Chains A and B, each alone.
Chain A
């Protein structure tokens, strides 16, 4: 585990795109700092009051901003990590990994955990450092930041389960990225249909049912984000089905990935 963890870390920092994380975080920190120097001007006269003195609640907007930042970083992490499995099992490299005294399940699970932890910690580091700057500037701290960090790990787990499956199945980075986009698009479309009650209104009962099943089977990533918002900002009821079915989907995906990997010839 230690070796694969270090390998994943080395692979991450070998990619120049990882510095995009730091650039985005740096810009976010600057924006957070800038928001602290916002001053009230009435009729062209500077009142000399900052956002905090005005009594505006900065806690929730700050958390929402951090949630958006971490969603963006999660998206980047998923794109960056899409090539990990196809690269690990290309001709000539697969032999190196598979000839070691590890079962295939163990090798893949260890790699999955390494990628999950390394990329999850990177997003956490970026998001949390930005939040800390905001918290220090505005003298606020809300424990809900930890819920957002937990949600990042859950979302990353789900995306990685899909990414690993396609990576093993096709062995190609491009296919993995395309499939991730496709999943997101289909799920968003189905979500939209479902929320606007259009599934039942197609006139074709069988097709409507098919779409209905698809909606229930596929991971509900956008709803997961809404769910986290609802919980974090106490703005609605918690629908546990969305969370459990999506996490269940990820576990099923991981199971199929292992089953496929065990049977694959290299």
Chain B
């Protein structure tokens, strides 16, 4: 089941300075399924936050269609079962951490008892219980981020929008937030994550989309993004320095004494390579697909300025 469906969505900001306005998001189409962690990546100004804001009804849609949990973003019902941690948030500083959770719970029309129970649980979860009665103006960036994450979960949301959730958080806090995200996913909830820390996205996300200049440059599973195009590394004791691979199978990328890299036309052709090596009585130690990090994949996509879904 899709929790988010976006079809040809476009956002143009009328600045009054530039004729025709500035296109922040340009004909983006994607869907996000229930229970997955979906990472939204892109360089600064790529349109990630604008896409978040359009889905949440914070900013209007210029053209195209968006649906969140079966409702258009203009309908407040679409936001009943969502939680949101904004980027560079500035929660009301006159409130305490507990006060923020209570205000948020009230705006979701939760019962007083539920708010109290959930607030205590969430403050414990984000390790902020002892600071619950302190005004937020005294909080550090990391503490604000933790309490922000707690307020986003007060209504036990079905879909959680997290915009840079680990921004300003120390490494221990980041690990804790990662654990919280995994726990939420294990509970069958959906997380839509916007983060610059690609190594973290790689660890937690199921699928990612890369936005560039407001357009969708690439979308796929983390495996699809990080698998180097059908390249395999074979570790063995190669006695022959020459090894010919027919064109219909693939091509040899590199060959050294203990390591060979081949690029195949499709995955099944690895069997041909293995069979050929075995016929030559070569002892194979390891066969593994060559992977790149999500960060490398991201840089490659952005550098090539690739447009359109691949």
Inter-subunit contact A95/B103 (CB<8 Å): no
Majority secondary structure, A binding face: helix
Binds B, one of A1-9, A187-195, A204-212: A1-9
User: On chain A, which size bracket covers the interface?
Assistant: 20 to 34
CA distance A15 to B87 in the complex (A): 26
A106 CA / B59 CA spacing, docked (Å): 17
Closest to B163 in A: A95
Complex Cα spacing A95 to B104, Å: 13
Of all chain A residues, the one with the shortest Cβ separation from B105 is A3
Docked Cα-Cα span, A133 to B105, in Å, equals 41
A residues less than 8 Å from B91 (CB atoms): 93, 96
Q: Is the pair B79, A100 in contact by a Cβ cutoff of 8 Å?
A: yes
B residues within 8 A CB of A2?
A: 106
CB distance from A189 to the nearest CB of B (A): 32
- A59–B93 Cα gap in the complex (Å)? 45
Q: Write out the residue numbers on chain B whose beta carbons fall within 8 Å of the beta carbon of A102.
A: 76, 107
**Are B59 and A11 in contact, with the CB atoms below 8 A?**
no
- How many residues on chain B are close to A (CB under 8 Å)? 35
**A3-B105, A6-B102, A10-B99 are known contacts. Are A92 and B90 too (CB-CB below 8 A)?**
yes
- Indicate with 1 or 0, residue by residue over B46-60, a CB within 8 angstroms of chain A CB atoms: 000000010011111
Chain B min CB distance to A208 (Å): 36
Please tell me if the beta carbons of B59 and A265 are within 8 angstroms of each other in the complex: yes
Chain B neighbourhood of A53, CB < 8 A? none
Count of A-B residue pairs with CB < 8 Å: 89
Partner of A92 from B89, B94, B105 at Cβ < 8 Å: B89
For B155, the closest partner residue in chain A by CB is A101
Given contacts A95-B53, A265-B13, A266-B58, contact A100 B89 (CB under 8 A): no
Q: Nearest residue in A to B112 (C-beta to C-beta)?
A: A2
Q: Given the complex, which residues of A lie within 8 Å of B99, measured CB to CB?
A: 6-7, 10
In the docked arrangement, what's the CA distance between A102 and B104, Å? 12
B90 and A90: CB pair below 8 A? yes
B92 interfacial contact with A, CB 8 Å: yes
Contacts of A98 in B (CB 8 A): 56-58
Is the pair B77, A101 in contact by a Cβ cutoff of 8 Å?
A: yes
State how many angstroms separate the Cβ of B280 from the closest Cβ of chain A: 63
**Would you call A266 and B79 a contact (CB within 8 A)?**
no
- Give the residue name and chain of the A residue nearest to B102 (CB): A3
Residues B103 and A93 in contact, CB atoms below 8 Å apart:
no
Q: Is A14 an interface residue (CB 8 A)?
A: yes
Most chain B C-beta atoms within 10 Å of own C-beta, residue among A90, A94, A95, A263: A95
Q: Is B232 an interface residue (CB 8 A)?
A: no
List B contacts of A88 (CB < 8 A): 92
Contact mask for chain B residues 178-191; partner A; CB cutoff 8 A; 1 contact, 0 none? 00000000000000
Chain A residues, Cβ within 8 Å of B103:
3-4, 6-7
A7 to B93, CA, bound (A): 11
Determine if A42 is an interface residue (Cβ-Cβ < 8 Å): no
* Cβ–Cβ contact A94 & B94, under 8 A: no
B13 touches A92 (CB 8 A): no
Q: Find chain A residues with CB under 8 A from B95 CB.
A: 7, 10
Q: Which of A14, A92, A265 has the most CB of B within 10 A?
A: A265
Inter-chain contacts of A93 with B (CB < 8 A):
89-92
- Contact A101/B107 with A11-B94, A96-B89, A96-B91 known, Cβ cut-off 8 Å: yes
Separation of A266 and B161 alpha carbons in the complex (Å) = 17
B76–A92 touching, CB < 8 Å: no
| Contact present for A7 and B92 (CB under 8 Å) | yes
Chain A residues near B60 (CB-CB < 8 A): 263, 265
Contacts of B102 in A (CB 8 A): 3, 6
Question: Using a CB–CB distance below 8 Å, which chain B residues touch chain A?
Answer: 13, 53, 56-60, 76-80, 82, 84, 86-95, 99, 102-109, 135, 161
Can you spell out 16 A-B residue pairs with CB atoms less than 8 angstroms apart?
Answer: A4-B103, A6-B99, A7-B92, A7-B103, A10-B94, A14-B135, A92-B89, A95-B53, A98-B56, A98-B57, A99-B82, A100-B108, A101-B77, A102-B76, A263-B60, A266-B59
With A99-B56, A266-B53 known, 20 other A-B pairs at CB within 8 A are A3-B102, A3-B103, A3-B104, A3-B105, A6-B103, A11-B94, A92-B89, A93-B89, A93-B92, A94-B58, A96-B84, A96-B90, A98-B56, A99-B57, A99-B84, A99-B161, A101-B76, A102-B76, A265-B58, A266-B58
